[in-house]
Amino acid sequence: MYIFVINSGSSSIKYQLFEMPEARVLCSGLVERIGHENAVLTHKIYKGGKEDILTSTEPINDHGKGLSKVEKLLTDAQVGVLKSLDEIDVVGHRVVHGGERFAATTRITDDVKKDIQQLFPLAPLHNPSNFLGIEVAEQIFSKASQVAVFDTAFHQTMPPKAFRYAIPEEFYSNLGIRAYGFHGTSHKYVAGKAAEYLQKPEAKIITIHLGNGCSMSAVENGQCVDTSMGLGPMNGLIMGTRSGDIDQSVIFYLVNREGYSLDEVNTILNKKSGMLGLTGYNDMRDITKAIDEGNANAQMAYDMYTYRIKKYLGAYIAALNGLDAVVFTAGVGENDIKVRQMVCQNMEYLGITLDEEKNAVRSKNLREINKEGASVKVLVVPTNEELEIARQCYELLAAE
* Distance of alpha carbon 134 from alpha carbon 114, whole angstroms: 12
Binding site annotation covers 376? no
Binding site annotation covers 7? yes
Binding site annotation covers 333? yes
* Distance of alpha carbon 256 from alpha carbon 100, whole angstroms: 34
Radius of gyration of the CA atoms of the chain, in A: 22
Binding site annotation covers 209? yes
From residue 345, give the alpha-carbon distance in Å to each of 35, 208, 367: 46, 16, 19
Strand order in the sheet with 2-8: 50-58, 39-47, 24-32, 13-19, 2-8, 88-95, 145-150, 106-107
Binding site annotation covers 284? yes
Q: Are 130 and 14 in contact (CB under 8 A)?
A: no
Binding site annotation covers 1? no
Name the catalytic one among 76, 110, 115, 151: 151
Active site residue 226: no
Binding site annotation covers 271? no
* Distance of alpha carbon 99 from alpha carbon 180, whole angstroms: 7
Binding site annotation covers 24? no
Binding site annotation covers 212? yes
| E-assigned strand segments in the chain | 2-8, 13-19, 24-32, 39-47, 50-58, 88-95, 106-107, 145-150, 204-210, 214-220, 223-227, 325-329, 367-368, 377-380
Binding site annotation covers 64? no
* CA 141 from centre of chain: 25
Alpha helices in 160-280 (DSSP H): 160-163, 169-173, 184-198, 248-252, 262-271, 274-279
* CA 300 from centre of chain: 26
Q: What is the DSSP letter of 174?
A: T
* Distance of alpha carbon 5 from alpha carbon 93, whole angstroms: 6
Q: Which residues contact 225 (CB under 8 A, 6 or more apart)?
A: 157, 158, 159, 162, 217, 218, 219, 316, 319, 320
Binding site annotation covers 247? no
The closest alpha carbon to 8, from 123, 144, 109, 167, belongs to 123
Binding residue numbers for ATP = 14, 209-213, 283-285, 331-335
Question: Which residues are part of the catalytic machinery?
Answer: 151
Binding residues for Mg(2+), by number, are 7, 385
Q: Residues marked as binding for substrate?
A: 94
Binding site, annotated residues: 7, 14, 94, 209-213, 283-285, 331-335, 385
